[in-house]
């Protein structure tokens, strides 16, 4: 199986030993505590599950700035975005202390992890601006990732963590949430050696479905893992439970049995375009996938990034030896009325025009579903469209 990023074995930070975990939970009751940001909580979940291997905790200022500038930590580990625990103020926390990190996304704010604080550092406005610009490519506060990144404060608490649970993800998505450890175990059980990963924060339409099928066929893959984000999204995005139901329906009805696994991970979307695409590649390698599909506007939002910037970063900025996972570059896919099937548009035979493809804007899709209008079968499977229609009509 493909090696994890940065180490020979996966090093998840979740405390699996029940005795040790019970000790830490008891210890947490007597520790100073803070309610962390949703982003910091998601980072803890990802480190706990092994997705952020080989990180052992939150980055300090030197690593955060180095990662933003060079996509490497100060000691040379390839990494595309800072992984931080940022707070508005330190509030009496000093280096050497152990603190309980409380979950902002669960009622009663239970302890999510314990952190041994190595440093307490305040980033200057200039340093925050540098990190924002490098990671997101913009400082526009209307960008949802920029707004979230700059709303938590500028005090960085660095140091290793021990993760005690996986927040709300295990409870809310018991059939879908899986750690990198669990997915590696699943891959072994399936006997797969070449695995396609498909990232999604949206339901999957016909074009997405066919893209997974194309990648599997062209790479000679044993199987595919549809890996959906289960964490916080921007306003207007479809909730995870609706996406989960629609994707499972599509897989059950339109893929051969035991060829595709539907799973999810606990992370808040950054909408960081190219940099986030590289992060996606790292944690897909950590979960055991050998290939990641990177298509049009991967991890993007609005018009902040070019349509294929997320592919270009792997060619232009990612060192050849940085990753073992391979990128499957995909063009925009759409249903060709001339050919009667979904194709990549850059592979369309000569003579195709935009009028020969079935396109629907997101706005048009939402409008049709809210009005109870069926989507064209060339665009969405009817069983998937029904699930989405019920969601939109119930929230109209």
SS3 77: coil
The DSSP output letter for 258 is T
- The single residue listed with the structure tokens 């800072």 is 82
Tell me, yes or no, if 286 is annotated catalytic. no
Count the neighbouring beta carbons within 10 Å of the beta carbon of residue 93.
17
Residue found under tokens 């500028």: 154
Given the residues 98, 109, 190, 202, select the one marked as catalytic. 202
Rounded distance, CA 222 to CA 193, Å?
7
User: Phi/psi at 326 (nearest 5 deg)?
Assistant: -105, 150
Q: From 389, 335, 313, select the one nearest 208 (Cα to Cα).
A: 335
Q: Which residues pair with 121 in a beta bridge?
A: 156
| Closest listed residue to residue 149, CA positions, set 69, 100, 82, 52 | 82
d(CA 396, CA 392): 6
Active-site residue (options: 43, 85, 184, 201): 201
What is the number of residues in the chain?
396
d(CA 310, CA 316): 10
- Asked if 392 contacts 370 with a C-beta cutoff of 8 angstroms, the reply is yes
The token pair at 348 is: 């369309």
Alpha carbon distances (Å) from 64 to 28, 59, 75, 152: 27, 6, 12, 15
Q: Say whether 201 is catalytic.
A: yes
What is the Cα–Cα distance from 38 to 44, expressed in whole angstroms? Answer: 10
In angstroms, the CA 229 to CA 235 distance is 15
Taking the CA atoms of residue 357, residue 362, residue 368 and residue 372 in that order, the dihedral angle to the nearest 10 degrees is 120
- Three-state secondary-structure class, residue 67: helix
Which residues are known catalytic residues?
Answer: 201-202
């Amino acid at each position: 199986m493909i090696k994890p990023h940065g180490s020979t074995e996966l090093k998840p930070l979740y405390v699996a030993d029940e005795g040790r975990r019970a000790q830490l939970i008891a210890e947490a009751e007597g520790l100073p505590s803070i309610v962390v940001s949703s982003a910091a909580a998601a980072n803890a979940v990802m480190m706990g599950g092994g997705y952020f291997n080989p990180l052992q905790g939150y980055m300090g200022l030197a690593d955060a700035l180095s990662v933003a500038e060079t996509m490497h930590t100060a000691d040379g580990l390839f990494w595309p975005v800072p992984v931080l625990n940022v707070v508005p103020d330190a509030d009496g926390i000093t280096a050497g202390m152990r603190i309980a990190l409380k979950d902002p996304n669960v009622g009663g704010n239970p302890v999510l992890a314990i952190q041994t604080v190595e440093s307490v550092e305040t980033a200057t406005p200039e340093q925050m601006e540098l990190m924002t610009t490098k990671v997101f490519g913009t400082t526009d506060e209307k960008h949802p990732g920029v707004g979230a990144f700059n709303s938590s404060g500028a005090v960085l608490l660095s140091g290793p963590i021990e993760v005690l649970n996986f927040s709300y993800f295990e409870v809310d998505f018991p059939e879908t949430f899986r750690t990198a450890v669990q997915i590696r175990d699943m891959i072994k059980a399936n006997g797969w050696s070449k695995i396609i990963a498909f990232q999604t924060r949206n339901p999957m339409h016909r074009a997405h479905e066919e893209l997974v099928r194309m990648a599997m066929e062209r790479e000679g893959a044993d199987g595919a893992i549809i890996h959906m984000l289960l964490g916080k999204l921007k306003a207007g995005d479809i909730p995870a439970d609706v996406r989960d139901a629609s994707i499972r329906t599509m897989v059950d009805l339109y893929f051969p049995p035991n060829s595709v696994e539907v799973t999810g991970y606990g992370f808040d979307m950054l909408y960081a375009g190219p940099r986030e695409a590289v992060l996606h590649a790292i944690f897909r390698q950590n979960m055991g996938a050998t290939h990641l599909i990177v298509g049009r506007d991967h991890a993007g939002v609005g018009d902040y990034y070019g349509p294929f910037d997320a592919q270009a970063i792997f060619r232009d900025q990612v060192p050849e030896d940085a990753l073992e996972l391979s990128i499957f570059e995909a063009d925009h896919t759409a249903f060709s009325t001339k050919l009667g099937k979904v194709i990549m548009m850059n592979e369309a035979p000569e003579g195709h025009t935009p009028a020969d493809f079935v396109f629907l804007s997101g706005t048009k899709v939402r409008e049709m579903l809210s009005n109870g209008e069926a989507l064209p079968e060339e665009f969405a499977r009817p069983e998937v469209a029904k699930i989405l229609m019920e969601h939109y009509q119930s929230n109209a």
